[in-house]
Amino acid sequence: MTNVVADLSGVFVAPTPSCATGCAYTWGANERWQLGSGLRYYPGPRRVVDLSGVVAQASAIDDLSRYALLANGTVVAWGDNRAGQLGGGWTGGMSPTPVVVTGLTDVTAIATTHGTAVALRSDGTVWAWGSSAAAGQPSSVPVRVGALSGVTAIAAGWSTVYLLHSDGTVWEWGHRNNNNAWTPVQVAGLTDVVSVAAPHGRGIAARADGTVWTWPHDGTPTQIPTLTDITEVAAGDLTGYALRTDGTVWAWGDGHWGQLGNGVDCSAGNPPGCYVDTPVQVVGLTDVVALPTGYLRLNGYALRADGTAWSWGEWEHLGTPASRDMSTPVRVDLPSGVTSLSAAGAVVG
């Protein structure tokens, strides 16, 4: 007899075959079946059904859809589709299992923000679909974003997307760019950028010289003076993260859910260290080789050189059985051999 998982909405998912390489795992909230596991609720990471050969995931903790980039350069999606964000050419409903995004090939990176998905192709062009795809209007199939080419990386945050160009400049696209239009515009004063992230209402960039710069929408970038030797940045809602060449992680901004990772318990009041302007080291983390992609909201994540994933912050998206927020890193309940991390998601093998 086949073991079938169902919920009250009538969604049925059959058991998934085994996965040898490129296995996608998800955890956290599941209102619109965005975990893709076939289970309505499970406290820790579960594998996405019928999916292997994954290179990277795209997710945002407050989003209701998820995406996976496959080794063949195509993209699949699952979860909510009320804005056409699954990219299959229809709008409405949801899918508890992955479906192919129409017409996308040669994709090298993916991102998502508030019902809009974004893909970077190998020719340096950027494509989007969902709630704000074409000039701020919804589209259920991918459409090209502006005429910009030569893009090498993308980062999505709170309804804003940053595009890193091959010449080291950063371009902004979304709700709050400096001309309030849905055409990418250059962030003034930034050059030699190697990594970019998008917290709520701001941008963060790491430059080739190891410095980190931040700016408000429509504002001028300023340097964070205490951060040096930085290779990568990531962002939550009001929290920034930076990876140093020595394998340590540094955080700044809001920490009221433990997302600074500095060991300060903010659950009973507002002691010093619950919000910091000067970056602090995330305690107990060494040998970190990568930070996650995606809008992290109230959590931090890190991938260590031994292939283990670690998390801290808001309890529901830790990826562990924890029932409280954690202000120090805990290991995510994943098999060894993690190759990439996203917001409450990972690729193993």
Identify whether 202 is part of a domain.
yes
* CB hemisphere CA count around 44 (13 angstroms): 11
Identify whether 8 is part of a domain.
no
Prediction pTM value: 0.94
Which range of residues forms the domain containing residue 132?
A: 21-348
Q: Using an 8 Å Cβ cutoff, are 11 and 39 in contact? A: no
| pLDDT at residue 5, rounded to an integer | 33
> pLDDT of 234-270, one tens digit each?
999 999 999 999 999 999 999 999 999 999 999 888 8
Identify whether 127 is part of a domain.
yes
The DSSP 8-state label assigned to residue 2 in this structure reads: -
Report how far apart, in Å, the C-alpha atoms of 155 and of each of 57, 165, 328 are.
13, 12, 26
Identify whether 66 is part of a domain.
yes
Identify whether 5 is part of a domain.
no
> What does the pLDDT average to over 2-7?
31
Q: What is the CATH number of the domain that holds 87?
A: 2.130.10.30
Residue 30 CA to residue 239 CA, distance in Å, equals 24
**Is the model's pLDDT at 291 over the cut of 50?**
yes
**How many Å separate Cα 317 from the centre of its chain?**
13
Please report, as a single letter, which amino acid is at residue 196.
Answer: V
> pLDDT of 167-210, one tens digit each?
999 999 987 544 555 789 999 999 999 999 999 989 999 999 99
Identify whether 212 is part of a domain.
yes
Please report, as a single letter, which amino acid is at residue 238.
Answer: L
Q: In 3-state terms, what secondary structure has residue 256?
A: coil
* CB hemisphere CA count around 147 (13 angstroms): 0
Q: In what order do the strands lie in the sheet with 46-47?
A: 46-47, 23-26, 345-348, 338-342
Identify whether 14 is part of a domain.
no
**Is the model's pLDDT at 9 over the cut of 50?**
no
**How many Å separate Cα 97 from the centre of its chain?**
20
152 burial type by CB count under 10 A (0-12 exposed, 13-18 middle, 19+ buried): middle
Identify whether 12 is part of a domain.
no
Query: What's the number of domains the chain is made of?
Result: 1
> pLDDT of 124-143, one tens digit each?
999 999 998 877 789 999 99
The DSSP 8-state label assigned to residue 292 in this structure reads: P
| pLDDT at residue 7, rounded to an integer | 35
